[in-house]
Chain A
Amino acid sequence: MGEIEGIYTIWLREMKRFLRYRSRIVTSIVTPLLWLIIFGTGLGASIRFGGIPGGYRAFIYPGIIGQTILFTSIFSGVSVIIDRQYGFLKEILVAPISRPSIVLGKALGISTASMIQTTILLLLSFLVGVIMTPACFLATMILSLIISMGFGGLGLLIAAFTDSMEGFNLIMSFIVLPIFLLSGALFPITGLPGWLQGAVYMNPLTYGVDALRYTILHRSVFPLGISMILITIFALVMVFAASFIFNTKEQSLM
């Protein structure tokens, strides 16, 4: 009981913060729209992209949703660094509640934020000419939850090893952007040069985007089941690893 209430409390705080930073919500919606409308239309006009109704713009639509989940999740996880600088992390860490509950509450909060953003983006599906059914919507939300748990966990892990927000640019250049670019969000992942193919297949987001493409556009490279299993494993590993690190590094986090 106490632990569940603890998880809920941490989740609630995460939600309040998310909803109170209005500018963050606005950017998290505007950025993907810029990608879709400008990048999607621009590049879509210069390449032939057959096979999908809606063309290239429709093709990157699930990819951009994946990107939004990735960015929101990692940065929300990394925001623990700010909690640490403001000292608020201490207040949470000295409470009589287990470290895994703290990590889980945080990860669930991040997932909820991602799902809210996914919902908004799915409501805009008419912009790219994709038809949304309730079943597609539901399946996409489940994927959004799993993917964001994984990357939220990764963000928390990174935060546990980073002392200040000065590392932010490093995280952006060396972790977030490569994960995004190597995920097949912007290009098909078949028929790539060997080195690129290898890197793409190593990337957990590849399977997230591929699964999203299945639920939204009904086409994918991997079977949905395989992608689901892989992203679920990734989510579990990240949340467990973050819990473990928060447990062992507890003292240096305060």
Chain B
Amino acid sequence: MGYIIETEKITKKYDDFTAVNKVDLEIPEEDIYAILGPNGAGKTTLISMLCTIIKPTSGTAKVNGYNITKEPEKVRASIGIVFQSRALDDMLTGREHLEMHAALYGVPKNIRQKRIEEVLELIALGEKADEYVKTYSGGMKRRLEIGRGLIHHPKVLFLDEPTLGLDPQTRESIWKYIKQLNREEKVTVLLTTHYMEEADKLCDHVAIMNKGQIIKADTPQNLKRELKADTIKVKTENPKEFAEKIQELPGVKEAYNTGNMIKLMVERGENLIPQIVNFATQHNFQIKSVELEHPTLEDVFIKYTGTGITET
């Protein structure tokens, strides 16, 4: 299978600030691909360049085989975009949004009605489809925006923080919907998120982005497996000294201090807990609590960036 998006040292600078720094990215066809990173990591800037909304300072990219700087019209015709911020007109109905979008993207007239019906069914607006958007709930608005992005059968659907500000239930239903689209419509989905869970549950591949750079890209499983590890969180007095000392214990691969606790990267954590407690007593450390965790993407993120995603 080929790559539908390829970037080559794509860079965006604003005066002294480099928002996106020489990013090389390859996104396979029919993938659900997440760019995961904290706010300000450059995710939206990167995606905006791929959508031809902003021009790169240097470097380039191909989307669906078209060069984003030389053939922006062709790129735009092959993609669907759902922006981070709302882009709806309160005084139009859901159906009118779809009709307008279909016309602007040149969906042939004879199949337009059919497409609109299909999308309406998919996004399950029901009778609300013919009411003004101002009466919609947050989830309905989001579904309408996603549905609208699909009317012209794009090859790639860009979703910038698709579930930002939605309640957990709506979030789950949007995930389900994205998966269904990906499977049934064979559309590649590139989304940005700062929800670990979203990247983990929804996506085939995840690229971790921080400070304008892609730090690591792989499947969520591989990323977690690569940590080789469960995590043991230990709370103790003198965490700094303990973090240094505990690395002497066989089986502890890495230890670092996250401020209020120490995280130990270990293999088969459940077997190691007694040893850790013994080790601490021998070296006169007071342990307050021990907690065992199997790895999450958050840990992967912390490992590669040194900070938690939610704190930044």
Contacts and interface: CB of A to CB of B under 8 A. Distances in A.
Interface of A: 2, 5-6, 8-9, 12-13, 16-17, 20-21, 83, 86-88, 90-97, 251, 254
B85 A2 contact: no
Nearest to B85: A87
B4 interface: no
B77 A96 contact: yes
Contacts of B186: none
A6 B76 CA distance: 15
Q: Is the interface of A mostly helix, strand, loop or mixed?
A: helix
A9 B104 contact: yes
B89 interface: yes
B91 A16 contact: yes
A6 B92 contact: no
B54 A88 contact: no
A20 B91 contact: yes
Interface in B78-122: 81, 83, 85-92, 96, 100-101, 103-106
A91 B77 contact: no
Contact of B103 (A6, A16, A21, A88): A6
B83 A87 contact: yes
Contacts of B52: 94
B51 A94 contact: yes
Size category of the B interface is 20 to 34
Contacts of B54: 251
Contacts of A86: 86-90
A2 to B, nearest CB: 5
A251 B100 contact: no
17 contacts: A2-B106, A5-B106, A8-B103, A12-B100, A13-B96, A13-B100, A21-B91, A86-B86, A86-B88, A86-B89, A91-B83, A91-B148, A92-B104, A96-B73, A96-B77, A96-B105, A251-B55
Name the residue among A12, A20, A86, A94 with the largest chain B CB count within 10 angstroms. A94
Contact of A90 (B87, B92, B100): B87
B198 to A, nearest CB: 22
Contacts of A254: 53
A96 B96 contact: no
Nearest to A252: B54
A129 to B, nearest CB: 39
A16 B77 CA distance: 26
